[in-house]
């Protein structure tokens, strides 16, 4: 199926051409093949031409997608509730936000926390120098204090590691099953374009997918394709390693393992965003579109439990927001501004929008009590 996407401006086309050249060079020294996680890493994180580094607008109406903090300050206000419950249990708490986008969530959270007289140290860990600059100017204009880290804290922290829509942006491996064997689905160059290319059967990948099949109790059919993301599990392990007391709170598109690898979800979850059009071709305009792979929250929970964290909460964004005090205390909308709030709330809450697709996972260590507002879906993980 061909996708009808708008043509980028000349500046964008030049960036995409230069990135393409760089990827072609990598392919040429590796027998014209790279795994999908390597490709995703190049197109999103090449430090010059990659999507998160090349200066494209990304967020909001001029960009490619809208995240919850960009839609409404209510999201940050609602997130402040479980965060306050956690950091109130500490003397010198820290919030470490990973992948802070424009910095909007930091502004909303710090504002809400100070309204409750809660003043944690706020750190941001951001891989993109360009986004770090955008965050810095927004946070400075709000007169707030944040410290940017170049690497993870070397000493254990007490507090909350927060990541909204970051785990879906981590490079994932795509695979397909053929004749009962698991093959990585990689990338090759063909007539000036990049195309999918199945690689040789891969032992490590087979081991991961066979373990999934064993837990599910059925064998995935031939032709099934999907993704796994060892980088995400490694991220959870690393973050868990720096938390002495506190929690990781992640919010993202995602599913449980059983939903993710359901026989009917046989073409995976990979999604691309260009100028607010969602499609499934990661080879269109490399460097100019966002690529995301949904999160397997069961895998995140397993990685966390392996390193001693407890799964303290798992619910949908819709459930979480509908049960948060920030939203329950809203009045009836009768002005235009309030109507706009209602409109953004519908997008955040409704099942057909972000309400069901987005989930919150809370992973904790050494906390007295903590949970998330909304229905508890932990038994589904």
Ligand X SMILES: C[S@@+](CC[C@H](N)C(=O)[O-])C[C@H]1O[C@@H](n2cnc3c(N)ncnc32)[C@H](O)[C@@H]1O
Q: Could you list the residues that contact ligand X (CB under 6 A)? A: 52, 67, 69-70, 98-101, 105, 125-128, 131, 164-166, 169
Q: Which is nearer to ligand X, 52 or 123 (CB)?
A: 52
Q: Which helix (H) or strand (E) holds 29?
A: none
In whole angstroms, the minimum distance from the beta carbon of 130 to ligand X comes to: 8
Q: Which is nearer to ligand X, 131 or 182 (CB)?
A: 131
In whole angstroms, the minimum distance from the beta carbon of 125 to ligand X comes to: 5
In whole angstroms, the minimum distance from the beta carbon of 42 to ligand X comes to: 14
Q: Which is nearer to ligand X, 152 or 367 (CB)?
A: 152
CA 57, 62, 68, 74 torsion: positive or negative?
Answer: positive
In whole angstroms, the minimum distance from the beta carbon of 114 to ligand X comes to: 20
In whole angstroms, the minimum distance from the beta carbon of 224 to ligand X comes to: 27
Determine the residue with CB nearest ligand X: 99
CA 235, 350, 72, 329 torsion: positive or negative?
Answer: negative
Q: Which is nearer to ligand X, 146 or 182 (CB)?
A: 146
* Residue 380 burial class via C-beta count within 10 angstroms: exposed 0-12, middle 13-18, buried 19 and up: middle
In whole angstroms, the minimum distance from the beta carbon of 128 to ligand X comes to: 4
Q: Considering only CA atoms, which of 60, 238, 256, 53 is closest in space to residue 163?
A: 238
Q: Which is nearer to ligand X, 162 or 212 (CB)?
A: 162
Q: Which is nearer to ligand X, 56 or 197 (CB)?
A: 56
In whole angstroms, the minimum distance from the beta carbon of 109 to ligand X comes to: 11
- Within the chain, where are the H helices? 10-28, 36-45, 68-71, 73-87, 104-115, 129-141, 203-216, 230-242, 257-260, 297-306, 317-322, 325-328, 336-349, 356-357
Cα dihedral value 14, 16, 127, 347, nearest 10: 110
In whole angstroms, the minimum distance from the beta carbon of 379 to ligand X comes to: 28
Q: Considering only CA atoms, which of 172, 190, 159 is closest in space to residue 88?
A: 159
The answer to whether 75 and 105 have CB atoms below 8 angstroms apart is: yes
Can you say whether residue 323 is alpha, beta or left, with left for phi > 0 and alpha for psi between -120 and 50 degrees? alpha
The answer to whether 285 and 124 have CB atoms below 8 angstroms apart is: no
* Residue 313 burial class via C-beta count within 10 angstroms: exposed 0-12, middle 13-18, buried 19 and up: buried
Structure tokens at 317: 């964004």
Q: Which is nearer to ligand X, 154 or 335 (CB)?
A: 154
Q: Which is nearer to ligand X, 112 or 128 (CB)?
A: 128
């Amino acid at each position: 199926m061909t996708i009808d996407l708008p043509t980028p401006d000349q500046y964008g086309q030049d960036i995409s051409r230069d990135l393409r050249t760089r990827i072609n060079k990598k392919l040429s020294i590796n027998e014209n093949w790279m795994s999908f996680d390597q490709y995703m890493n190049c197109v999103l994180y090449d430090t010059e031409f990659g999507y998160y580094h090349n200066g494209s607008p990304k967020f909001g109406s001029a960009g490619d997608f809208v995240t919850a903090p960009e839609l409404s300050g209510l999201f940050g206000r609602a997130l402040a509730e479980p965060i306050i419950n956690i950091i109130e249990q500490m003397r010198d708490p820290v919030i470490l936000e990973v992948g802070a986008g424009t910095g909007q969530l930091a502004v909303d959270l710090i504002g809400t926390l100070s309204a409750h007289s809660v003043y944690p140290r706020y750190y941001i860990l951001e891989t993109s120098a360009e986004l770090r600059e955008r965050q810095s100017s927004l946070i400075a204009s709000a007169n707030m204090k944040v410290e940017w880290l170049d690497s993870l804290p070397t000493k254990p922290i007490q507090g909350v590691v927060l990541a909204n829509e970051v785990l879906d942006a981590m490079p994932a491996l795509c695979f397909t099953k053929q004749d009962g064997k698991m093959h990585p689905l990689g990338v090759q160059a063909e007539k000036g374009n990049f195309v999918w290319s199945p690689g040789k059967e891969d032992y490590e990948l087979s081991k991961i997918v066979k373990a999934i099949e064993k837990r599910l109790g059925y064998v995935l059919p031939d032709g099934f394709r999907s993704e796994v993301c060892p980088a995400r599990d490694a991220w959870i392990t690393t973050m868990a390693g720096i938390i002495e007391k506190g929690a990781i709170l992640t919010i993202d598109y995602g599913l449980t393992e059983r939903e993710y690898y359901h026989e009917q979800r046989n073409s995976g979850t990979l999604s691309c965003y260009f100028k607010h059009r969602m499609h499934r071709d990661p080879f269109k305009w490399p460097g100019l579109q966002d690529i995301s792979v949904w999160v397997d929250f069961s895998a995140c929970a397993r990685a966390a439990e392996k390193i001693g964290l407890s799964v303290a909460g798992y619910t949908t964004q819709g459930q979480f927001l509908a049960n948060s005090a920030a939203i329950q205390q809203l009045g009836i909308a009768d002005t235009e501004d309030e109507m706009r709030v209602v409109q953004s709330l519908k997008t955040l809450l409704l099942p057909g929008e972000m309400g069901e697709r987005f989930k919150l996972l809370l992973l904790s260590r050494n906390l007295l009590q903590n949970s998330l507002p909304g229905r508890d879906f932990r038994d589904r993980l």
